[in-house]
Amino acid sequence: LDVRHAHERPKSSAPLLCPFARVIVDMSDIETLRFLTPETARQAIEIAGSPCYAYDLETFKAQATNALAFPNAYGLTVRFAMKSCPNAAVLKLFHSMGLHFDCSSIHEVKRAMAAGVPVENCSLSSQELPEGFEEYVAKGLKVNCCSLLQLEKFCAKCPGKELGLRFNPGVGSGGTGKTNVGGPSSSFGIWHENSAKCADMAKAASCKVVRVHTHIGSGSDPAVWRQTTSISINLCSAFPDVATLNLGGGYKVGRMATEKGTTLATDCSVVQEVFSDFAAKDGRKLALEIEPGTYLSANSGALVCTVHDIVQTGTDQGHTFIKLDSGMTEVLRPSLYGSQHPIIIVPSDPARSSKRKNYVVCGHCCESGDLMTPAPGEPETLAERSLCEAAPGDICVVEGSGAYCSAMATKNYNSFPEAGEVMIAGGKAHLIRKRQKVEDIWANEVPLPAGTY
């Protein structure tokens, strides 16, 4: 067993002949199916094809209910970070439960509206403030300006209107550097030391700053939560009209059985305390907004795919590889972050259910980085998993694939079609997105004029 990070392992003088290092991880606790059963997994493939995404209605509901009970002192709005899982069926479910929506582009605003979400229930916090945003502001869209230039544009296009300001509070927390969206290494938000300048700009345009928004990143260290909440709420002091503080998302979810997730009722109770302390000193009872995405959807979804092939590399340093009919085209997180997802083999022959073998699981792309079992946090390091003995044709379920998988995959790489999606409700799989026709991949291509070649 050697699970040390690359910089901790002894360096070898031998030349590196492969872009991947080797780690063997003996996982004694075999992961099991969560909301799926072998029957519903097969049913999902029957109606949506392999690979497909399967979501669970009851898990979505349970997570949303927990989020709606987030500790707060003076009122709460839960905004689903729809970039994590934007299927219309999910948006409609959360809308029916009273959630509002955090949109990261004007296209997401349009997508939410198409699903029946009123525009006034949408909040736009974007790296790119689009042309024509003022038309949506006039209809009720809430905009959080995320840079001084965005604030300048808002004041020019929407004088006298209410707005929010997204600040970088100077600290952040994240599972990896790539998921940390606060602090000096992050481009997200207006640097907190520019708050006085923002106040002057808004006042000159007769605009009211009614919301302050911050987001420290995915991970959630409780000590950092207290620090950033205090910094964020103190920013409100510069804006007398602020009535709402939005703390973004970043609630840790344990995908693997060995990982600990955030318990909102206890881990985030410090937020309520900070709001109460601010009210005692300032006199304002600020409402709270939060923007969970991963928390609501990560473990509400799974990728259902098929074992396509099994190959071996016949040396002492070799592996047995499971090749799936899926990969980074559906779940990019392992290749991008070294993220860990539970992987469960559903054998076609039940006699193999008790047999175990170590495998490296990889995807179907002609891409060396298409890896489903990297070492934790190390996307370039192979790690073996102890799984049920597999055979071509077996179903493979990749759990924890409800957030930032369908929405963030390298779809159409190698010209693989976009996977279908199903919702498990009442013990049955219901189709909520058809598998893409392969012809649709090139449908928008336009030929050059005749004689150009």
Question: For residue range 369-385, what is the model confidence (pLDDT) as tens digits?
Answer: 999 999 999 999 999 99
pLDDT band at 315 (very low <50, low <70, confident <90, very high): confident
- Please state, for a pLDDT cut of 70, what percent of the chain lies above it: 89
Q: Residue 34 CB: number of other CB atoms within 10 A?
A: 17
Residue 184 confidence (pLDDT): 72
What average pLDDT score do residues 262-291 get? 93
Percent composition of the chain: helix, strand, coil (DSSP 3-state, to 5): 30, 25, 45
Q: What is the chain's alpha carbon radius of gyration, rounded to the nearest angstrom?
A: 24
The tens digit of pLDDT for each residue in 14-63 reads 333 344 555 655 544 579 999 999 999 999 999 999 999 999 999 999 99
Place of tokens 């003088």: 13
pLDDT tens digits, 168-179: 987 655 554 444
Phi/psi of residue 309, nearest 5 degrees: -160, 160
**Which of 408, 414, 432 lies closest to 52, judged by CA?**
432
SS3 at position 103:
strand
At 428-446, the pLDDT tens digits run 999 999 999 999 999 999 9
Least confident range of 24-38, 126-140, 265-279, 329-343: 24-38
> Residue 187: its pLDDT value, please?
84
Decide if pLDDT at 185 tops 60: yes
- Predicted pLDDT at 180: 45
> For 158-221, where are the alpha helices, taking DSSP H only?
195-204
- pLDDT attached to residue 28: 45
* Average pLDDT value for residue range 69-97: 98
| Total number of residues shown for the chain | 453
pLDDT at 173: 52
Locate the DSSP E strands across 146-251. Answer: 162-168, 190-191, 208-213, 244-246
Omega before residue 379 within 30° of 0, cis: no
